[in-house]
Structure 1
Amino acid sequence: MPDIDEQAAAWLTHFETALATHDDILLRRLFTPGATWRDLLAFTWNFRQFHDRDAIAAYLWATVQDIEPANFAIDKDFQVDPVSAVTSAPTGTYEINFTFDTAAGFADGLVNVLSDDESPAGLRATVLFTRLTGLRDRKPKWPQFGRYNHQELVNERRSQAHRKRYTDREPEVLIVGAGHNGVFVAAALGRLGIDALVIDKHEQPGDSWRKRYESLVLHQPHGMMQFLHLPFPVSFPDYISKDRLADWYEVYVKALDLNLWNSTSFLDGSYDPETERWTARIQLADGSERVMHPKFLVLATGGSGTPRVPALPGLGDFAGAVTHSEGFRSGADYTGKKVMVVGAGTSAHDIALDVAVHGGTPTMFQRGPICIVDLPTANINYGAFNTRDVPTDVLDKRWLATQVRPTMMENFKFVTALGNDLDRKLHEGLESAGFQIDWSPYGWFAKYFEVAGGYYINVGASEAVIRGDIKIRQHDEIDRFLPNGVQLTNGEILEFDAVVLATGYENQRVILERFFGKAVADSIGEVAGFDAGGEPERQQYKPIPAQPRLAIAGSGICAGRWYAPLVALEIQAELEHRVPAAFTAPGHPSRTPL
């Protein structure tokens, strides 16, 4: 029986030979016809994916001479066995983790293979993933080993305080927003020795979580939420409250020596292609303004930050309190009150449940069907992230390799069918209570990637709906608001003491236009969701062709952890002019399809 380690090494050797000799026949013998490839910067200086063998070959032959990949080898330093069986794939599938070099730097990868006698290595690839990990002649600044300078260590806090004031220089990179994306990118830049300043409108690190409603708890398990470069302590619970998470931001900023100015707002900015610098106007904590000229700007605000307030007929006539979910703090403020919650997404469910727990009477007005999944069922999507048995870096790499849209949608469809069967009784109870369920075949996880909403992971509110503790009405029943409540289209009047608008936030375009003007916002276009090439996180974390030296980082904690190191490498490559000019030209095959 062939030795799988020898076969893995042979596959890499043949792959390198095919690329070096431009041998199309050999290349095709190494891949199945339906193989997929996802590349993060290594071959494309972009985030791209290719959905069959023909597309893989076409791209490689168009660009391989510029990339110069070489020295493919099994990754002996991988945290687990670099060659191992894949239990979640068809029987006989093996995973090979490898490293390689390019003209610009160093990279790693993963390939899933199946036995195939037609291949010279006895293996054919079904999944290929490649990723840039560093640039040539640029070693990371940490970890630091073997240097002891007593006076430097004694004075480090004073030195850091001086450095963070920026009295004698401009930051190379200005990061707007100190949520997870902002601090992750700052940490990744710091590791590369790139001077970055983070500014944030809140008073303390973590306030973007700390100031949210008191009952907020993350619905994803511990493993999905790990922070870049600083994992949670083993004492952390599987599910993390917003206050514990907020406190961890403070620890993170201090431990990684990030340059952060709190109580500081970004006002506007413009880019000068001649000087290759931004003019950024910011407002400081004392109300004064300062103009900075960074070489690169990262927008990490996590969204527009602008509450979406729908036009509700007669809302101005309502005599009770009206608040957006952004301003909601605790159901204790609504004890004994009848509360109308407009919306039925995650925040609406959390708020309605909190009101009910504190003795209020909530009614959710549903604006459209919503995907509902019970927490244990949702966890099926996360696989080994539910445990603490496999290193996060290993799981992240495997996850990134399968972020190929056709594969994702196929997986979503399978897990959704399984989940609907597991949650059948829950769904039946909800429908009996008048709740409209979104029966999309791709389920809640597709909603997360497509629109970052439209679902609820049940942690108790669904049972409250079924019991009648949370009442359900439909938004299209509303005729108009009255001083004491709302009149429905059938003439019925429902009395309310307060209204909470759980209606979400405006999209990224709003903040792009506010900060940079309509022309720039129009040129960038839509942000988030899938791009035309199948990549998730459209226009985020990757180069933006319409606006040089701007990056948008606005997705969840796990995406921030995955992509922040790549954003830092993009910035380093751009500042040092390492990206070949052809790869930034319109129409180049590396560019994201329109």
Structure 2
Amino acid sequence: MDYCLKELQGKTSHDPYFNHNKIMNKCVFVNGPVIVGAGPSGLAAAACLTSKGVQSLVLERSNCIASLWQLKTYDRLSLHLPKQFCELPLMPFPHDFPTYPTKQQFIKYLELYAITFNIRPLFNQTVVSACYDRSLGLWRIRTDTTTTASSTEFVTRWLIVATGENAEAVVPDIEGMEEFDGSIMHTSLYKSGEIFKRKKVLVVGCGNSGMEVCLDLCNHHATPSLVVRDTVHVLPREMLGKSTFGLSMWLLKWLPMRLVDRFLLITSRLLLGDTSRLGLDRPEIGPLELKNLSGKTPVLDVGTLAKIKSGDIKVCPGIKRLLKHHTVEFVNGQTEEYDAIILATGYKSNVPSWLKEKEMFSEKDGLPKRPFPNGWKGECGLYAVGFTKRGLLGASIDAKKIAEHIHQYFQ
């Protein structure tokens, strides 16, 4: 620790990672891995390490665990997959939880998970840079404390990046946004359709979030429209009395992916009808193959499709531009007025903004360059968890591998 302090005192104004507006009041050597992010992925990594007898330090920029779930999700949200596919390593969901736990139940599960494995993150620690010091053979992680004008450097042999694929909201640059007189918000700020009662709302994005927000708006007596800019696979959440995801995983044990995709599409056509007649064209590639190639998740219908069929939700083409007086012009030339626009345009990784490393993570999308199942390990003690595009199941797989690999150094 003394050496780290001396190194810090010797830094000059030419150091690109030093923030002179902050007071660097301490440097801490961590005799174990440092995990950046206290979401489900970070908690899973910490728990797996604890089970191996390896203590870790979790850094979190917010003031709570699972901040995306607690602070940036809508009230009606529940897990899209059955709970057995969403549990974190070493601890199942409580038996009395429903098949699809609610947002509140999932947060309760995560809080109990943190208590069970004695995971106590350092909150309000925003990582501003992390770089590998080759002269020391150690990672130097610098944080700003959001509640005070201070900064800290953590030094460690192992760095686990657990900020995930959904660290920052994606807000598209739509022409005329500054001209539109109505409100515009990302789904990260949307809680309930209650405030939109009797209002016309345009939802941009037809993924699971966009579909569910439209349904929530309908349930609160708003009039939603849904912008569908691309092809999309809509599947029933359950088939033949089983979850579509669970049935797909079982079939993949016996059949090739293309045959399973064909089965899913035929069954979906029987249960849901021809979605293209509703303005929801399907991609040419099957849902599982598309997910495997691009990470694009099919929509699991929870009732939105019935509202589209009944006309309660109108499907619209892409937006060309926004105009004054609440007006939206679509790419087909038609215009319509809306009281508000909700952007269900997803999230992205923020890793390139703070990790000073060029080999493991892509600067373009902030995801590991090597695809699953090989994206969890980098060089010089760098690891990634929660970037598999396979949800909580993928994060759990990576967390177990990381803990096993680091544990070898403590034997």
| TM-score (norm. length: structure 2) | 0.83
Q: Which residue of 1 aligns with 2:188?
A: 326
Q: Which residue of 2 aligns with 1:345?
A: 207
1:536 aligns with 2:372: yes
1:512 aligns with 2:351: yes
1:553 aligns with 2:385: yes
| Deviation, structure 1 residue 435 | 2.3
User: Cα deviation per residue 1:159-205 (whole Å; 9 max; x = unaligned)?
Assistant: xxxxxxx9985242110111111011101111222220111122222
1:565 aligns with 2:400: yes
- The residue type equivalent to 2:127 in the other structure is F
User: Cα deviation per residue 1:478-502 (whole Å; 9 max; x = unaligned)?
Assistant: 3543331212355432010001111
CA–CA distance in 2 between the matches of 1:456 and 1:284?
39
| Deviation, structure 1 residue 548 | 2.0
Label 1:283 to 1:429 Cα distance change in 2 as closer, same or farther (>3 A).
Answer: same
1:242 aligns with 2:103: yes
CA–CA distance in 1 between the matches of 2:369 and 2:153?
35
Kindly name which structure, 1 or 2, has the bigger radius of gyration based on alpha carbons.
1
Q: Which residue of 2 aligns with 1:417?
A: 262
Preserved CA contact (<8 Å) 2:360 2:368: no
Label 1:321 to 1:384 Cα distance change in 2 as closer, same or farther (>3 A).
Answer: closer
Label 1:186 to 1:501 Cα distance change in 2 as closer, same or farther (>3 A).
Answer: same
Preserved CA contact (<8 Å) 1:513 1:520: no
CA–CA distance in 1 between the matches of 2:208 and 2:367?
19
Label 1:234 to 1:490 Cα distance change in 2 as closer, same or farther (>3 A).
Answer: closer
Preserved CA contact (<8 Å) 1:173 1:297: yes
Preserved CA contact (<8 Å) 1:341 1:364: yes
| Deviation, structure 1 residue 338 | 0.6
Name structure 2 gaps, 5 residues minimum.
Answer: 1-25
Label 1:199 to 1:322 Cα distance change in 2 as closer, same or farther (>3 A).
Answer: same
| Deviation, structure 1 residue 276 | 1.7
- The residue type equivalent to 2:186 in the other structure is H
Preserved CA contact (<8 Å) 1:426 1:462: no
- The residue type equivalent to 1:516 in the other structure is L
| 3-state SS of paired residue (2:34) | strand
| Deviation, structure 1 residue 241 | 0.8
| 3-state SS of paired residue (2:98) | coil
Preserved CA contact (<8 Å) 2:35 2:42: yes
- The residue type equivalent to 1:553 in the other structure is V
The correspondence for 1:474, drawn from 317, 321, 329, is 317
The correspondence for 1:496, drawn from 330, 338, 345, is 338
Alignment of 1:264-343 (within 5 A): 264-284=125-145, 286-287=147-148, 288-303=150-165, 305-343=167-205
| 3-state SS of paired residue (1:548) | coil
CA–CA distance in 2 between the matches of 1:259 and 1:167?
19
The correspondence for 1:215, drawn from 76, 91, 102, is 76
Q: Which residue of 1 aligns with 2:277?
A: 432
Q: Which residue of 1 aligns with 2:298?
A: 455
| Deviation, structure 1 residue 572 | 2.8
CA–CA distance in 1 between the matches of 2:274 and 2:306?
8
| Deviation, structure 1 residue 381 | 4.0
Q: Which residue of 1 aligns with 2:93?
A: 232
User: Cα deviation per residue 1:446-483 (whole Å; 9 max; x = unaligned)?
Assistant: 343433335210111111111111110111x6354333
Q: Which residue of 2 aligns with 1:142?
A: none
| Deviation, structure 1 residue 558 | 1.2
- The residue type equivalent to 1:536 in the other structure is F
| Deviation, structure 1 residue 550 | 1.1
Alignment of 1:190-209 (within 5 A): 190-209=50-69
**Aligned-residue identity in percent:** 23
Preserved CA contact (<8 Å) 2:210 2:344: yes
- The residue type equivalent to 2:137 in the other structure is E
Label 1:295 to 1:214 Cα distance change in 2 as closer, same or farther (>3 A).
Answer: same
| Deviation, structure 1 residue 344 | 0.7
| 3-state SS of paired residue (1:252) | helix
Label 1:181 to 1:449 Cα distance change in 2 as closer, same or farther (>3 A).
Answer: farther
Preserved CA contact (<8 Å) 1:528 1:536: no
Label 1:527 to 1:488 Cα distance change in 2 as closer, same or farther (>3 A).
Answer: closer
1:379 aligns with 2:243: yes
| Deviation, structure 1 residue 271 | 0.5
| 3-state SS of paired residue (1:190) | helix
| Deviation, structure 1 residue 261 | 1.5
Preserved CA contact (<8 Å) 1:451 1:529: no
| 3-state SS of paired residue (2:403) | helix
| Deviation, structure 1 residue 570 | 1.7
| Deviation, structure 1 residue 536 | 2.4
Equivalent residue pairs, number: 379
Alignment of 1:4-153 (within 5 A): none
CA–CA distance in 2 between the matches of 1:305 and 1:255?
26
Label 1:521 to 1:184 Cα distance change in 2 as closer, same or farther (>3 A).
Answer: closer
The alignment's C-alpha RMSD in Å is 2.9
| 3-state SS of paired residue (1:310) | coil
1:485 aligns with 2:320: no
More helix by share: 1
Name structure 1 gaps, 5 residues minimum.
Answer: 1-165, 387-397, 579-594
| Deviation, structure 1 residue 227 | 2.1
User: Cα deviation per residue 1:411-465 (whole Å; 9 max; x = unaligned)?
Assistant: 332222112222214553532222222242x31x334343333521011111111
Q: Which residue of 1 aligns with 2:38?
A: 178
